[in-house]
Amino acid sequence: MPITKLLERNAAELGEETALVEINPTVMEKARVTWREYALIETNPMLSGRQEITWKEFDKRANRFANLLLSRGIKKGDKVAVLLMNCLEWLPIYFGGLKAGAVVVPLNYRYTAEEIKYCLELSESDALVFGPEFIGRVEEICDKIPRVKQVFYVGEACPTFAESYDYLVKFMRSITPDVEITDDDDAAIYFSSGTTGFPKAILHNHTSLMHSCKVEQAHHSQQHDDVFLCIPPLYHTGAKMHWFGSLISGSRAVLLKGVKPEWILRAVSEEKCTIVWLLVPWAQDILDAIEDGSIDLSKYELSQWRLMHIGAQPVPPSLIKRWKKVFPNHQYDTNYGLSESIGPGCVHLGVENIHKVGAIGKAGYGWETRIVDPDFNDVKQGEVGELAVKGPGVMTCYYNDEAATKEVLKGDWLLTGDMAQEDEDGFIYLVDRAKDVIISGGENLYPVQIEDFLRAHNAIKDVAVIGLPDQRLGEIAAAIIELKPNYECTEEEINEFCMGLPRYKRPHKIIFADVPRNPTGKIEKPKLRSIYCGESVVAAQIKN
């Protein structure tokens, strides 16, 4: 059934129960009260630090937006782009688009004006919904996107080039519109993270979205009394599809607008969160804050927190070992996925397999996996090949890009672009992105393996390994190292530490600098290559 039916079921059966809570810690820190007490303070709701809506109100808001779209001539199959920071309006707007039969197009909030224009054109969007953070960027392109006939603004002080969403939806009916939606209908276009170039438009249908709900609940056993803390951006499949576990179980979710360790722990404590999905940097920051004494765990009520899971990027085993020392009672899980496979879960470690930390796991619920060579033949167990996945969540296509679609879809199989290998127990380990592999003197170097080794150094907060051009070897490995606050380290110390690696895997250059990551936690290696490739850098050269 279409995913909108789950929302309607929750509204009917759980109408007055809380569906979503939004917390803005920046606002709330000004008040010397608990976050729940803050919600009772009489203030302008738009300025409140804590807001919530019920399942019934959630469904009504979605219906009002759906009816607004239909009243403006948006018809089944038209595209509605959403450019919002995480907020209470985000998901009702998303579901309103779906209820109208439209294809919803979430946009990355870090896009520049030109990138927004590019994505609107590629997706053939007919309408745009945006928030106050994007006024300047949208104004810059509003005269250059003639196809986008409807531009709605969410927030106060609506700019003149848009219409006020908040005002218009008040006059719309709050009943479900009479639009027939089937499982095979197009539902959403997500954009690839762009870590290898301009983003591609990834088209999914309602079957994909529903399958992601089932996968999430099958993997993490969401029950009605669970509370999910959602921190990553909702435009990304990772955050959205993990929240789908709350949708299918009818459980509460908390949208936290901030990533400071104390904010995360306070939200878990005061909102009684049971499930938290973290990115690697956030988990590291929490552990660092606990270890340096800036966070006192005794001040928080965390006994109900049952599951911490991580995804969106390779997870250093050393990080999880540190986490389990501090939180020995937590279940831990990791989920592998990509937007082309409707986000997390096509490969899944499983909470029962903590002894396999470092692996991404086995095929997830309803999924199949293969590891193949360039001719699409299975490699032998233990050999490195490209990971391919098959299941109900595979994308329909790259929208408006037939050539790119043919490159990755082989029948029902999706080539992920990730190099992997399988151990004797059938667990899959990521080796690296196919496009990130460094070929140095004829040897294949997999940056993730070198990064995992370096992260075990107690002074290193983050690290990225990239290939730099070399006249003799073709490429050499360079390690960009971000140190922990108040830690010092020399190139000589890193070089000495790397003696624990095989000679051919040791980085030839050590560069101390920040490691840029995108909002989903992935290292922005194209940005690093643009900075360091072909340029003279001050670095240590390991002697051969």
Q: What is the DSSP string of 156-199?
A: SS--TTSEEHHHHGGGS--SPP-----TTSEEEEEE---TTSSP
Residue 470 or residue 171, greater confidence:
171
Q: How far is CA 331 from the centre of its chain?
A: 21
- The whole-angstrom separation of Cα 269 and Cα 71 is 44
pLDDT at 45: 43
- The whole-angstrom separation of Cα 358 and Cα 505 is 19
394 CB neighbour count, 10 Å cutoff? 22
Tell me the pLDDT band of 541, cut-offs 50, 70 and 90. very low
What is the total count of domains within the chain? Answer: 1
> What are the tens digits of pLDDT across the range 196-210?
457 899 999 999 999
Edge-to-edge strand list for the sheet holding 150-153: 163-164, 150-153, 127-130, 79-83, 103-106, 186-191, 201-205, 397-398
Residue 473 lies in a domain: yes
pLDDT at 36: 59
> Under 8 Å CB-to-CB from 284, ≥6 apart: which residues?
319, 461, 462
Over 60: is that where the pLDDT of 539 sits? Answer: no
Beta strands in 392-473 (DSSP E): 397-398, 409-410, 413-422, 428-433, 438-440, 443-445, 460-470
What is the enclosing helix (H) or strand (E) of 402? helix 402-408
Over 60: is that where the pLDDT of 435 sits? Answer: yes
Residue 521 lies in a domain: yes
Residue 531 lies in a domain: yes
Over 80: is that where the pLDDT of 31 sits? Answer: no
> Under 8 Å CB-to-CB from 360, ≥6 apart: which residues?
334, 335, 336, 347, 348, 349, 420, 428, 429, 430
Least confident of 114-123, 191-200, 348-357, 399-408: 191-200
223 CB neighbour count, 10 Å cutoff? 12
Residue 46 lies in a domain: no
DSSP codes of every residue in 114-158: HHHHHHHHHHT-SEEEE-GGGHHHHHHHGGG-TT--EEEE-SSS-
What phi-psi label fits residue 361: left (phi over 0), alpha (psi between -120 and 50 degrees) or beta? left
pLDDT at 417: 86
Beta strands in 14-126 (DSSP E): 18-23, 50-54, 79-83, 103-106
> What are the tens digits of pLDDT across the range 123-150?
999 999 999 999 999 999 999 999 999 9
Mean pLDDT of the chain: 89
Parallel/antiparallel/unpaired status of strands 385-390 and 368-372: antiparallel
Structure tokens that stand for 119 in this block: 């994505």
Question: Range of 458's domain?
Answer: 437-541
Q: What is the 3-state secondary structure (H, E, C) of 220-284?
A: HCCCCCCEEEECCCCCCHHHHHHHHHHHHHCCEEEEECCCCHHHHHHHHHHHCCCEEEECHHHHH
The CATH number covering residue 468 comes to 3.30.300.30
369 CB neighbour count, 10 Å cutoff? 23
What Rg, from alpha-carbon coordinates, does the chain have? 24
pLDDT at 10: 98
Residue 234 lies in a domain: no
Structure tokens that stand for 183 in this block: 């499982």
Pair 70, 98: CB distance under 8 Å: no
Residue 104 lies in a domain: no
Residue 449 lies in a domain: yes
Least confident of 41-55, 72-86, 263-277, 333-347: 41-55
Structure tokens that stand for 296 in this block: 């006192």
Residue 382 lies in a domain: no
Pair 324, 332: CB distance under 8 Å: yes
Average pLDDT on 266-273 reads 95
> What are the tens digits of pLDDT across the range 444-488?
787 888 888 898 898 999 999 998 887 667 788 999 999 998 899
- The whole-angstrom separation of Cα 381 and Cα 235 is 37
Structure tokens that stand for 224 in this block: 């009605």
